[in-house]
Amino acid sequence: MPPERKKLLLRLDPAVHDALARWAADEFRSTNAQIEYLLRRALADAGRLPGGVGRMRGPGRPSATPEPEEE
């Protein structure tokens, strides 16, 4: 069973939120998933993404068949 995801209250300028929401829609992600995607990318670029971090699901609707778990 995957660990419980952390919840975070994030205050954003409304214009920043609107821009993120539009970008997320363009990539078929929720705004929350887009923020997580961008944070992961920034952490990876800075060499600070922990090794044990699980993969994110790709953009768009989940597939009808579940992806095989990595061992």
Residues spanned by the domain of 23: 14-45
pLDDT at 7 over 80: yes
Residue 42 and residue 46: Cα distance in Å, rounded?
A: 6
29 found inside a domain: yes
- Check residue 53 and give its pLDDT: 86
Summarize pLDDT for 12-68 with one digit per residue, the tens.
Answer: 999 999 999 999 999 999 999 999 999 999 999 999 999 888 887 777 777 777 666
- Check residue 54 and give its pLDDT: 81
- Check residue 71 and give its pLDDT: 52
39 found inside a domain: yes
CB 21 within 8 A of CB 13: no
Identify the burial level of 23 via C-beta atoms within 10 angstroms of its C-beta, where 0-12 means exposed, 13-18 middle and 19 or more buried. middle
4 found inside a domain: no
The total domain count for the chain is 1
40 found inside a domain: yes
54 found inside a domain: no
50 found inside a domain: no
68 found inside a domain: no
